[in-house]
Amino acid sequence: MRPALLFVFAACAAGCPAPAEYPYPVRDCSITVRFVPPASLPGDGVLIRGEWNGFSGDPMVRQQDGAFVFTATLEPRDYAYALEVGGGRVLDEANPYRRWVGNEEYSLLRVVDCSVPELRLESFTQPALGEVRLVAQYVDGNRRATPEAGWSTVTLDGQVRGDLFPDAHGRFELHLEGLPEGKHTLTIAAQDGEGRSARPLYLPFWVEAERFDWQEAILYFAFTDRFANGDPSNDAPVPDVDPQANYEGGDWAGITQKIDEGYFDDLGVRAIWISPVQANPDGAFPGTGGHLYTGYHGYWPSKAREPQRRFGTLEDLRALTRAAHAHGIRVITDLVINHVHEEHEYFAAHRLDGWFNTGNSCVCGESQCDWEARRLDCWFTPYLPDLNWRNAQASEQLAEDALWWIEAADLDGFRLDAVKHVDHVAGRTIAGRLHEISQRTGIAWYLVGETFTGTDGRAQIAQYLGPNELDGQFDFPLYWSIIDAFAKGGPLTAIADALEANDAAYPPVTLNSPFIGNHDVPRFISIAANQIDGDAGAQAWSANRPPGSVTDDGAFARARDALTFALTLPGVPLLYYGDEIGLPGAGDPDNRRMMRFGAALSAPEAQLLEHVKKVGQARRHNRGLRFGARYTLVAEADTLILERDDAASDDGAVVTIHRGGEQARTVALRGRLKGADGLVLTDVVSGRSATIHEGMLTLPLPAQSAGLWIPQ
């Protein structure tokens, strides 16, 4: 959980007292910035330098607890500020928000208009399953425009509750019982007698017997257009575009159908990632190799708050999240933060306002425009204007749009696209806004970033992680090791080395996402079957594309091993749609073929699917696989044995991968699994059992096997 935001608060916790005859508390217009210097900084004196004083510096007052405080009354607007401590300039790390002035980064102080009323949550508790108690207070603006009749509304899950009202002093004391399991949303709205509306109090929360933690989740990427077609009426491919770069009919209704059928439950999936939901342009545009592409992928947003019509309506999207939530499944969507399409309303209105990098920008990858050196301002293509998050107005609007989708679609987080191509202010702003909501009800969001790197990218990935930015990132350095060791048959010792490198690079609380494939790389099964040539992107358009299904049993064995490994790691493992059946494909867009189900699967594909279900179900029901620490017990060229051990519950598991040609082997292990001699472990894959004897666990490892041993 991210730390509490302590950087600014109103001078009076619930509004300053009004005269006895006035029924409501009234907002105070002063602000307070509180700063606690880290132990590494001298704290004899602190100056705050802000836009309100031309950065000339105001002294902060030291408190008895060692904190420094600055209090003032300022005009409502956003201000940049920095702190001077011991003669050096520092930013306020307790404050997640940033503001750029010229080429300098500052902390951001937001001073709101105190003439506008405010709704403040004083308490929110869930004493028992299905029960909610909360106290909220209406605080009038300093104009004291007494509300008139009907000035407030309370909605639960979108329905107005006519039985929930504030008292005569604007205090809401609500007690709800009998709420069904799943996700719910309470919203309180109010306005004063002159029509000024308080920002609604948005209170999403879950009713569930066991509190969910994102470490529990297998995250499934249901690439929307290619997963399932549930509503043919919204199919609308663009004329004269090759089908593999065109709309093929997948939609939100199709994903909803698979949720209702239990497809994700069977896989042990606790979270679904869907393609970007914003509208994309209707036409076709040049892409890789000069081929025409449509916006079937969703990464060309052309409207801020309109849904992609070929995926469905906003109500279709809400039906998807409702269905998922009824199954205890969270839903995140891609959030495109680097660019918009040239047809976007914001580019039309703000192309000259500093919202976009238009001055000295270039197209990424062209001459003198290196993808890394110019990563913050280059354009992906000439028709995708690059957003400038350092512009305060742009960052505020983009964050508001993200929060609008969270509420409108009832989402549970975001996958932030192309993180390394935007300033840190993007992730910090979105994370901060979501954290403000989580402080109210304790709801847990997930922000995972995509920073496409090579094997040496851990430091670059790590710089975006932390309590004020991203919860996790997709683990590309580990991915390349997975490809080398599992798909290409390299030594498994390299995997153990990669895991140790991760341990050294990432903070312990990081919820990174390991994976064996995604929509930007060739399919694992095709690499394992040696079907990929040197240029997978060009191959995607050639007659040499991989066939419709793989027939190589060895490739399926390698996929089985890789998925067993990835899905039992700590963090939030990703399952890219189709990898559970060995869906083939070269580079983009051939790696985005239409998903197949049921009778359309070959025997090896169906067997791989059943294996993944067993592993997914084991993770779903074994606390050690969800929360346990990871230990490497054996790391050899053809044998890898890992243990997951949860000290809090004495639960755990042992993961075994043995290639070994035709040679079976037996290993004796002394792991950390708790329990007296006689503890029996069963392999959920084969059904074999083994017993701890005199502290040793002896496991049979058949040749070409992957096992997952769970205590019984």
3-state helix, strand, coil in the chain (%, to 5): 25, 25, 50
CATH architecture of 624-711: Sandwich (2.60)
Over the chain, what is the mean pLDDT?
A: 94
| Per-residue pLDDT at 20 | 63
- Note the pLDDT tens digit of each residue in 453-464: 999 999 999 999
- Note the pLDDT tens digit of each residue in 524-544: 999 999 999 989 999 999 999
What is the residue extent of each domain of the chain?
A: 30-111, 118-207, 214-333+393-400+417-432+446-622, 338-388, 624-711
Q: Which tokens hold the place of 301?
A: 């947003």
| Per-residue pLDDT at 705 | 96
Q: What CATH number is given for 214-333+393-400+417-432+446-622 in this structure? A: 3.20.20.80
Q: Residue 165: is its pLDDT beyond 70? A: yes
Q: Which tokens hold the place of 702?
A: 């058949």
Q: Which tokens hold the place of 17?
A: 């007292």
| Per-residue pLDDT at 317 | 98
Closest Cα to residue 223, out of 596, 595, 599, 601? 595
Burial class, 456, CB count within 10 angstroms (exposed 0-12 / middle 13-18 / buried 19+):
exposed
Q: What is the mean pLDDT of residues 147-168?
A: 94
**What is the per-residue burial (b if ≥16 Cβ within 10 Å, else e) of 161-199?**
eeebebeeebebebebeebeeebbbbbbbbbbeeebebe
* DSSP code for 395: H
| Per-residue pLDDT at 672 | 75
**Cα–Cα distance, 324 to 258 (Å, whole number):** 10
Which CATH class for the 118-207 domain? Answer: mainly beta
Region class of 87: left (phi > 0), else alpha (psi between -120 and 50), else beta:
left
| Per-residue pLDDT at 509 | 84
| Domain 214-333+393-400+417-432+446-622 and domain 624-711 have a common topology | no
Q: What is the mean pLDDT of residues 660-671?
A: 85
Q: Residue 508: is its pLDDT beyond 70? A: yes
Q: Are 323 and 348 in contact (CB under 8 A)?
A: no
Q: Which helix (H) or strand (E) holds 59?
A: strand 58-59
Percentage above 70 pLDDT, the chain: 96
**What is the third-level CATH fold of 30-111?**
Immunoglobulin-like (2.60.40)
| Per-residue pLDDT at 591 | 98
Q: Residue 4: is its pLDDT beyond 60? A: no
- Note the pLDDT tens digit of each residue in 636-654: 999 999 999 998 888 899 9
| Per-residue pLDDT at 468 | 94
- Note the pLDDT tens digit of each residue in 363-413: 999 999 999 999 999 999 999 999 999 999 999 999 999 999 999 999 999
Closest Cα to residue 28, out of 44, 36, 43, 17? 17
Q: What is the mean pLDDT of residues 161-170?
A: 94
Burial class, 313, CB count within 10 angstroms (exposed 0-12 / middle 13-18 / buried 19+):
middle
Q: Residue 13: is its pLDDT beyond 80? A: no
